[in-house]
Amino acid sequence: MDREARDAALVRAFELLEAVQNSTEAIDLQGPLRQAIDNGWPDVRFMIHYAEMARDHVAGVGIRSALGRMAQAAEAAGDAAMSVCALAGLSEAGADWEGSGEEPDASDDGGQLPDGVERTLATAVTMLDQGEGSAELRPTAYLHCGIAYHRLGAWGLAIEMMERAERALEVPLRPSLSRVVELTSAVLVLNRVEAELALACEALELGKRETARLLAAHRRRLTPTQCAAVNRSWSQLYLSMTTLLATLAGEPLDAGAHDMLLTGRVDNPWPGSRAYLHLADAIRWLDAGHAEQAARCAEEAVALTDELVPSLRTVCLAIAAQAPPASPAALRYGRELAKARARARHRLEEAARARLRAELHVRQAQHEARHAYVDALTGLASRLAYERHLQRVRRDDDASVAVLLVDVDLFKQVNDTYGHQTGDQVLRRMGSVLLASVRPDDLAARVGGDEFVLLLHGCSAEQAASRADLILREVDAVAWEEVASGLRVSVSIGAAAGRANLIDALIEQADHQMYAAKGRRTR
Residue 442 is among the residues annotated as catalytic for this protein: no
pTM: 0.70
Q: Answer for the pair 13, 34: CB distance below 8 angstroms, yes or no.
A: no
Q: How far apart are CA 319 and CA 312, in angstroms?
A: 11
Q: Are 94 and 151 in contact (CB under 8 A)?
A: yes
Q: Are residues 316 and 421 in the same domain?
A: no
Do residues 378 and 431 lie in contact, with contact meaning Cβ atoms separated by under 8 Å? yes
108 plus 228 within the same structural domain:
yes
Same domain? 223 vs 149: yes
Burial of 404 (0-12, 13-18, 19+ CB in 10 A): buried
pLDDT value, residue 198 = 93
Considering the domain architecture, whether residues 279 and 428 belong to the same structural domain is answered as: no
393 with 322, same domain: the answer is no
For residues 338 and 420, state if they share a domain.
no
Annotated catalytic residue within 267, 450, 476, 504: 450
Q: Is residue 371 part of a domain?
A: no
- Please report the pLDDT score of residue 103 as a whole number: 41
Same domain (yes/no): 43, 124: yes
Q: How many domains does the chain have?
A: 2
Structural element, H or E, at residue 341 = helix 328-373
Please check whether residues 417 and 330 belong to one and the same domain.
no
- Do 185 and 139 belong to one domain? yes
Q: What is the pLDDT of residue 503?
A: 93
Closest by alpha carbon to 423, among 437, 410, 404? 410
When pLDDT is cut at 50, 70 and 90, the band that residue 398 belongs to is confident
Backbone angles phi, psi at 269, to 5 degrees: -75, -10
Q: What is each CA distance from 514 to 54, 179, 471, 490, 493, in whole angstroms?
A: 65, 62, 14, 13, 5
Q: Report the amino acid identity of residue 114.
A: P
Q: What angle do CA 21, 22, 24 make, to 5 degrees?
A: 100
Report the 10 Å Cβ neighbour count for 50.
27
Distance CA 152, CA 164 (A): 19
226 falls within a domain: yes
- Let me know whether 288 and 432 are in one domain: no
Per-chain mean pLDDT for the chain: 86
Whether residue 96 lies inside any domain: the answer is: yes
Residues listed for the chain: 523
Alpha helices in 130-231 (DSSP H): 138-151, 155-168, 178-205, 209-217, 224-229
Buried b (16+ CB within 10 A) or exposed e, 338-353: beebbebbbbbbebbb
Q: Which residue has the higher pLDDT, 307 or 35?
A: 35
Q: What is the pLDDT of residues 343-375, one digit of tens each?
A: 999 999 999 899 899 888 888 777 766 667 888
Q: What is the mean pLDDT of residues 47-61?
A: 87
Residues 256, 402, single domain; the answer is no
| Residue 144 within any structural domain of the chain | yes
* Domain with 393 in it: 383-521
Domain-located, residue 508: yes
Angle formed by the axes of helices 232-248 and 178-205, nearest 10°: 30
Residue 361: inside a domain, yes or no? no
Residue 274 neighbours by CB distance under 10 Å: 20
Domain-embedded: residue 372? no
Q: For residues 118 and 462, which has the higher predicted lDDT (pLDDT)?
A: 462
On whether residue 127 sits in a domain, the answer given is yes
**Confidence (pLDDT) at 105:** 39
CATH number (domain holding residue 404): 3.30.70.270
pLDDT at 259 over 80: no
User: Are 69 and 195 in the same domain?
Assistant: yes
How high is the pLDDT of residue 523?
59
Burial 24-40 (b: 16+ CB within 10 A, else e): eeeeebeebbebbeeee
Distance, CA of 221 to CA of 213 (rounded, Å): 16
